[in-house]
RNA sequence: GACCGCUUAGCUCAGUUGGCUAGAGCGUCUGACUUACAUUCAGAAGGCCGGGGGUUCGAGUCCCUCAGCGGUCACCA
């Protein structure tokens, strides 16, 4: 054995050995406990970052621990096509080459992105492997795999038949630059300073920040409780410039204290106004188109961008003398989460999921502890979201994704929904004049089905959704591993992903997709700052793994903070863990040099000195403690416990007490060897989930067993 | 504005049914060239556990309150 742990010589070989031997692939037996984690599929559009490394480590620790307990363990890896994200990244690349998506046909563009993603996927798999992830690559899934897509289609069709999917005209969050609508979740509020204009509508004065939309006004609303305006309800007001008369109506959505308490209603360009307009049967007028330019206005504004039009309109209003007051206010506007530009609320025909019922079922599953959140704060977050959800817009006007299996009949104006196959004709009037919707599904609609889709996909497509018990006999993976054990993921995607998996899982399978939810915090830098490229504090996990060893990186990623909390990681931390790995290596080396590794385990541990008894007692305590800590997901405490035991109790104290100096060199007291073997063997077992490479390497170097460590049994201490 | 969380050593953080002298890593300081390991060893300093009040035999831990920080949400035009 070399003087120091040289991880680079071992890691790749050991990983290949594990994978080739099939230890990552479960061979389920009846009656054995099952443990399953579906890996949150990383987006197949970039390198792994330190955050990925952390969650892969956490999941691998749990997986290895349960595997060593002798359970049937499945960790299913995957990759996400990540619709908008990926198309966005790809378009950026095109831009660098001086091209844009409009230079290609739909098919060409799809193929180009496909190739790009395939490349990334292979790269990503390599990176996950280098972190020691013991996931079952034979079951790897991609969100665009044929089998997965089939299941997504089926779910969509059934939702449609159940009346839970509808096509409706609603205000959507349209980004004129991205050329697509977004869901409620994909917009961000941003504080902006704007001018609030008080405009004279003859009978009443209103306040608005968007005077360019006055041409789309179809009413003025006041609060019914507002004494100032009671007499005016039912009368009319007059839009300046175009002099159109519009009714004054009452609606309690209007805030009495804002502006003048009178709100101009523009159903075409504002979500609240759209709602009010619907309630009062007001017409919808559009004055801004999808490119963000003015339409349906007096000639002088036509074709202008909305913000340019505003300046011109204000000038004209001032000329007319109807601007009563101007006031600077700070208010929140919606911006696109991708390009940070203004979102234009527009009424659009899109596919929506009615979420009320689904959310209600998800809520009661959480309340009934069918899904248990390990951390209470995140449970509250999920419940808060579920209680406030709006209908989910699942259409995206992009190419990269699963195309919606809906065909529009130009003759009878009805939609034919299929399970993916192209219909011969309209199912209502049999016209052949049909055309498929150009839109694709929101990525989260497919990843929301991930737990059951991945487990079912292996069994072929002859699956009915919802699944019946009869199906289960045939569907082995699904029967064995669903509901999965733990969903381990980041808090930022609780609303996008976690709650939707619960909703869709319950809907499609009548069962929750997972029993527990473990949410991890962010990786931060040494000072606790968020990691970002612009701050220049990026920690590259692959570089660190290469420099200090994967085991060191892994332990550093769970060291010191609770899983659910943010963690500070620095190169010094990783170095410190590298030192620990080296300490472990050198204990092994010492054992080998002194030939204390011969006949490993032949003799039962036979404590003779008080140090012998003490270390055996301490070992038992450590086993008990760490087992409990892992069970309760307190991985930081477990690794700290093991660190202290190995370094300070075993190496510093016990090992020193067994040394005898002879003329030929240092030896270990013979009667203590059996004790030392017992203790060290258990250290390797307990550390294996955290530091899989070095423990497996040492296990082999010392010839402890013919069986590899990865499938060695976790020790059980009987409680007294 | 609403909801949630945090405040413990110089720094980053543990401390889960309230109970030994409040811990870890890093950092700092003193000493050691001795060895399986200098990626080492022996030791030390450093804490009114944010402020105040309460419950209790006993509070870092439970309750109330104040302050500071952070997060999530929100239709205020």
CA torsion sign for A487, A488, A491, A492 is: negative
**Res. A286: pLDDT tops 80:** yes
pLDDT at A585: 96
pLDDT at A471: 60
Query: Do residues A324 and A187 share a domain?
Result: yes
H/E segment holding residue A640: helix A635-643
On the 0-12 / 13-18 / 19+ scale of CB atoms within 10 A, A376 is exposed
pLDDT at A720: 46
Q: Are A204 and A239 in contact (CB under 8 A)?
A: no
Q: Are strands A434-436 and A395-396 parallel, antiparallel or unpaired?
A: unpaired
Give the model confidence (pLDDT) of A555-565 as tens digits: 999 998 999 99
The residue lying closest to nucleotide B11, measuring its CA against C1', is A527
Dist. CA A322–CA A211, nearest whole Å: 12
Query: Do residues A472 and A503 share a domain?
Result: yes
The residue lying closest to nucleotide B14, measuring its CA against C1', is A560
Give the model confidence (pLDDT) of A159-185 as tens digits: 999 999 999 888 888 888 888 888 767
pLDDT at A475: 67
Query: Do residues A207 and A339 share a domain?
Result: yes
**Between the CA of A468 and the C1' of B12, what is the distance in angstroms?**
51
Query: Do residues A284 and A197 share a domain?
Result: yes
Nearest nucleotide relative to A591: CA against C1': B36
Q: How many alpha carbons fall within 13 Å on the CB side of residue A25?
A: 8
Q: Are A86 and A402 in contact (CB under 8 A)?
A: no
**Res. A190: pLDDT tops 90:** no
Nearest C-alpha neighbor of A234 from the set A243, A242, A225, A222: A222
Q: Is residue A285 part of a domain?
A: yes
Q: What would the DSSP string read from start to end of A302-339? A: TT-BHHHHHHHHHHHHHHHT-EEEEEEEEEEEEEETTT
Dist. CA A209–CA A192, nearest whole Å: 11
Query: Do residues A246 and A305 share a domain?
Result: yes
Q: Are A56 and A49 in contact (CB under 8 A)?
A: no
Nearest nucleotide relative to A390: CA against C1': B75
Average pLDDT, integer, range A290-306: 89
Q: Which of A344, A362, A390 is the last residue of a domain?
A: A344
Average pLDDT, integer, range A582-607: 91
pLDDT at A230: 86
pLDDT at A125: 92
Q: Is residue A307 part of a domain?
A: yes
**Res. A69: pLDDT tops 50:** yes
**Dihedral of the CA atoms A567, A571, A573, A579 (nearest 10)?**
150
Give the model confidence (pLDDT) of A29-53 as tens digits: 888 999 999 999 888 777 889 999 9
Q: Is residue A569 part of a domain?
A: no
Dist. CA A637–CA A396, nearest whole Å: 45
**Res. A434: pLDDT tops 70:** yes
For A139, which DSSP code?
G
Nearest C-alpha neighbor of A691 from the set A154, A5, A49: A5
Dist. CA A390–CA A373, nearest whole Å: 23
pLDDT at A641: 93
Q: Is residue A483 part of a domain?
A: yes
**Res. A514: pLDDT tops 70:** yes
- Distance from the Cα of residue A346 to its chain's centroid: 28
Query: Do residues A588 and A683 share a domain?
Result: yes
Query: Do residues A190 and A105 share a domain?
Result: no
Q: Which of A523, A543, A562 is the last residue of a domain?
A: A523
**Between the CA of A45 and the C1' of B63, what is the distance in angstroms?**
50
**Between the CA of A124 and the C1' of B55, what is the distance in angstroms?**
56
On the 0-12 / 13-18 / 19+ scale of CB atoms within 10 A, A529 is exposed
Nearest nucleotide relative to A189: CA against C1': B74
> Percent of chain A at pLDDT above 90?
57
On chain B, which bases lie within 7 A of the protein's CB atoms?
Answer: 3-5, 11-16, 24-27, 35-42, 72-77
Query: Do residues A250 and A318 share a domain?
Result: yes
Structural domain harbouring A637 = 574-711
Nearest C-alpha neighbor of A217 from the set A260, A195, A246, A196: A246
Q: Is residue A311 part of a domain?
A: yes
Nearest nucleotide relative to A632: CA against C1': B16
Query: Do residues A602 and A684 share a domain?
Result: yes
**Res. A388: pLDDT tops 60:** yes
Q: Is residue A360 part of a domain?
A: no
Average pLDDT, integer, range A211-231: 89
Nearest C-alpha neighbor of A456 from the set A4, A709, A149, A206: A149
Dist. CA A705–CA A649, nearest whole Å: 25
Total number of domains in chain A: 3
> Out of A380-389, A413-422, A516-525, A701-710, which region has the weakest mean confidence (pLDDT)?
A380-389
**Between the CA of A636 and the C1' of B57, what is the distance in angstroms?**
34
Q: Is residue A410 part of a domain?
A: no
Give the model confidence (pLDDT) of A108-156 as tens digits: 989 999 999 998 889 899 999 999 999 999 999 999 998 899 999 999 9
Query: Do residues A138 and A201 share a domain?
Result: no
Cβ atoms < 10 Å from Cβ of A459: 16
Q: Are strands A219-222 and A262-265 parallel, antiparallel or unpaired?
A: antiparallel
pLDDT at A323: 87
Per the DSSP assignment, residues forming a β-bridge with A237 are A246
H/E segment holding residue A407: strand A406-409
If one compares A334 and A440, the residue with the highest pLDDT of the two is: A440
CATH number of the domain residue A647 falls in: 1.10.730.10
Dist. CA A511–CA A483, nearest whole Å: 7
Q: Is residue A553 part of a domain?
A: no
**Between the CA of A587 and the C1' of B40, what is the distance in angstroms?**
13
Nearest nucleotide relative to A529: CA against C1': B12
Average pLDDT, integer, range A675-692: 96
CATH number of the domain residue A201 falls in: 3.90.740.10
Average pLDDT, chain A: 90
* Highest mean pLDDT out of A260-269, A477-486, A687-696: A687-696
**Res. A460: pLDDT tops 70:** no
**Res. A719: pLDDT tops 60:** no
Q: Which of A310, A344, A378 is the last residue of a domain?
A: A344
Nearest nucleotide relative to A559: CA against C1': B25
Query: Do residues A502 and A600 share a domain?
Result: no
**Between the CA of A228 and the C1' of B34, what is the distance in angstroms?**
92
CATH number of the domain residue A450 falls in: 3.40.50.620
**Res. A712: pLDDT tops 50:** yes
Dist. CA A642–CA A635, nearest whole Å: 11
Query: Do residues A196 and A328 share a domain?
Result: yes
ipTM of the assembly?
A: 0.93
The residue lying closest to nucleotide B23, measuring its CA against C1', is A640
């Amino acid at each position: 054995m070399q003087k120091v742990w040289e991880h680079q010589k071992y890691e790749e070989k050991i990983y290949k050995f594990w994978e080739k031997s099939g230890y990552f692939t479960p061979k389920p037996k009846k009656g054995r406990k099952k443990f399953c984690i579906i890996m949150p599929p990383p987006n197949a559009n970039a390198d792994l970052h330190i955050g990925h490394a952390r969650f892969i480590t956490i999941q691998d620790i749990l997986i290895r621990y349960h595997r060593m307990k002798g359970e049937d363990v499945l960790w299913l890896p995957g990759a996400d096509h990540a619709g908008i994200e990926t198309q966005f990244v790809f378009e950026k690349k095109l831009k660098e080459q001086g091209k844009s998506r409009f230079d290609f046909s739909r098919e060409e563009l799809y193929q180009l992105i496909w190739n790009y993603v395939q490349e990334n996927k292979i790269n990503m798999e390599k990176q996950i492997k280098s972190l020691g992830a013991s996931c079952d690559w034979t079951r790897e899934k991609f969100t665009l795999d044929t089998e997965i897509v089939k299941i997504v289609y089926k779910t969509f069709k059934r939702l449609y038949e159940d009346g839970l999917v509808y096509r409706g005209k609603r205000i959507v969050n349209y980004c004129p630059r991205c050329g697509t609508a977004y869901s409620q979740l994909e917009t961000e509020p941003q504080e902006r300073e704007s001018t609030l204009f008080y405009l004279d509508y003859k009978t009443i004065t209103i306040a608005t920040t968007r005077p360019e939309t006055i041409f789309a006004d179809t009413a003025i609303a006041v609060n019914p409780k507002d004494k100032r305006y009671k007499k005016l309800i039912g009368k009319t007001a007059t839009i300046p410039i175009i002099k159109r008369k519009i009714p004054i109506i009452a609606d309690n959505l209007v805030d009495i204290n804002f502006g003048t308490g009178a709100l101009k209603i523009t159903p075409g360009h504002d979500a609240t106004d759209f709602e009010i307009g619907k309630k009062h049967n007001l017409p919808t007028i559009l004055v801004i188109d999808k490119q963000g330019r003015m339409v349906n206005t007096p000639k002088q504004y036509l074709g202008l961008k909305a913000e340019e039009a505003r300046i011109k309109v204000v000038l004209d209003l001032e000329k007319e003398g109807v601007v009563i007051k101007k006031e600077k206010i700070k208010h929140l506007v919606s911006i696109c989460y991708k390009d940070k530009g203004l979102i234009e609320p527009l009424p659009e025909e899109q596919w929506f999921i009615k979420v009320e019922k689904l959310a209600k079922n998800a809520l009661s599953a959480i309340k009934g502890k069918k899904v248990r959140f390990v951390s209470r704060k995140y449970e509250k977050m999920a419940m808060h979201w579920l209680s406030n959800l709006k209908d989910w817009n699942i259409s995206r006007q992009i190419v990269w994704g699963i195309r919606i299996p809906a065909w529009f009949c130009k003759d009878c104006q009805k939609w034919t929904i299929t399970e993916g196959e192209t219909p011969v004709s309209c199912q209502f009037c049999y016209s052949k004049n049909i055309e498929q919707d150009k839109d694709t599904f929101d990525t989260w609609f497919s990843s929301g089905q991930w737990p059951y889709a991945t487990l079912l996909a292996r069994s072929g497509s002859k699956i009915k959704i919802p699944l019946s018990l009869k199906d289960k006999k045939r569907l082995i993976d699904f029967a064995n591993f669903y509901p999965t054990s733990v969903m381990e993921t980041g808090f930022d995607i609780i609303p996008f992903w976690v709650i939707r998996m619960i909703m869709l899982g319950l809907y499609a399978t009548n069962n929750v997709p997972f029993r527990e939810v473990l949410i991890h915090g962010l990786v931060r830098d040494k000072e606790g700052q968020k990691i970002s490229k612009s701050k220049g504090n990026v920690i590259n996990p692959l570089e660190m793994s290469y420099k200090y060893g994967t085991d060191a990186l892994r332990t550093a990623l769970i060291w010191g903070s609770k899983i659910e909390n943010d963690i500070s990681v620095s190169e010094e931390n990783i170095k410190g863990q590298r030192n620990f790995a080296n300490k472990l290596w050198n204990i092994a080396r010492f054992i080998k040099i002194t030939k204390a590794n011969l006949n490993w385990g032949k003799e039962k541990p036979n404590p003779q000195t008080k140090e012998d008894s003490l270390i055996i007692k301490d070992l038992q305590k450590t086993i008990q403690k760490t087992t409990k800590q892992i069970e309760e997901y307190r991985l930081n405490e477990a690794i700290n416990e093991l660190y202290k035991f190995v370094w300070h109790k075993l190496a510093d104290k016990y090992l020193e007490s067994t040394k005898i100096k002879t003329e030929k060199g240092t030896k270990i007291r013979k009667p203590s060897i059996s004790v030392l073997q017992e203790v060290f063997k258990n250290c390797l077992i307990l550390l294996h989930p955290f530091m899989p490479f070095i423990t497996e390497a040492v296990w082999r170097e010392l010839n402890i067993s013919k069986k590899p460590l990865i499938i060695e049994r976790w020790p059980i201490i009987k409680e007294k």
